Amino acid sequence: MSSTAPIGVFDSGLGGISVVRQIVRDMPRERVLYFGDSANAPYGTKTPEQVRRLSFAIVDRFVHEGVKAVVIACNTATSAAVNDLRETYDIPIIGMEPALKVACDRGGVQSDGSHVPQRVIVAATPLTLRERKFARLMDRFDSDNEIFKEPCPDLVEIVESGRLHDHDLVMDTLHRYFDKYDLHRIDSVVLGCTHFVFYRDYFRELLPDSAAIIDGNEGTVRHLDVVLESLGDLAPQDAQGSVELANSDPSERIAALSRELLDA
């Protein structure tokens, strides 16, 4: 595979554009092909079998376009399909999972060597939170920390419908999900869906200053960089990076919204 080949990035819709923005910042010489499956969004309320079928169709598309790696910029699709995709294709398949380890590690250790417990809310789609992959991740940390699972499907819909700038709608939705918690006792909120990264400023408004807001985008892109470097497939120093946006919804509304989110 040529080091000048593009990287394929896909999501159930527009959320994965937040990962593309991270790639542009951290790996600016890379060419990126983005595919959003907005015609079939949201994935988070579908069955694992449906998500696997959709994911395979997208990766087939990327393989025919000659990508050197695929980033599943979707926690839901990662949960449902990453293992099967890796068994099928001989290019790197980089998945995502909620950055729970990062949140729990923030506590550090006490003077006696014991872990400082963390109270963490994981905001994600319903499918991500009920899949075995997340259950295994949670099992690693819930004995030493207090972890709350909060499915937030309406946050996906708000992004997909282009209403991200409707402050009252967004804050009313966040309050509906999070007012049940004593947020002053929460150490961090993990944004376990790439759509939710676009809400970072809203979460900052909702949460006390003491609560951290954590997403997995930076760690995912760092892992992508390491994998490509190990294979000798990083773009050359003189390469000119680029982004091409495609979507299963061919409407101009989605195209314009995609460009707006990329440039935000």
DSSP letter, residue 115: B
SS (HEC) of 145-160 = CEEEEEECHHHHHHHH
84 annotated to a ligand binding site: no
76 annotated to a ligand binding site: yes
248 annotated to a ligand binding site: no
User: Is 74 a known active-site residue?
Assistant: yes
Q: Are 156 and 41 in contact (CB under 8 A)?
A: yes
CB atoms within 10 A of CB 234: 19
Instruction: Of 79, 126, 124, 146, give the one whose Cα is nearest residue 138.
Output: 146
User: Is 152 a known active-site residue?
Assistant: no
Catalytic residue among 147, 170, 186, 193: 193
79 annotated to a ligand binding site: no
Catalytic residue among 74, 120, 121, 137: 74
**Rounded CA separation 118/141 (Å):** 10
113 annotated to a ligand binding site: no
210 annotated to a ligand binding site: no
184 annotated to a ligand binding site: no
75 annotated to a ligand binding site: yes
**Rounded CA separation 262/264 (Å):** 6
Annotated binding-site residues for substrate read 11-12, 43-44, 75-76, 194-195
Which residues are annotated as part of the binding site?
11-12, 43-44, 75-76, 194-195
Active site residue ranges: 74, 193
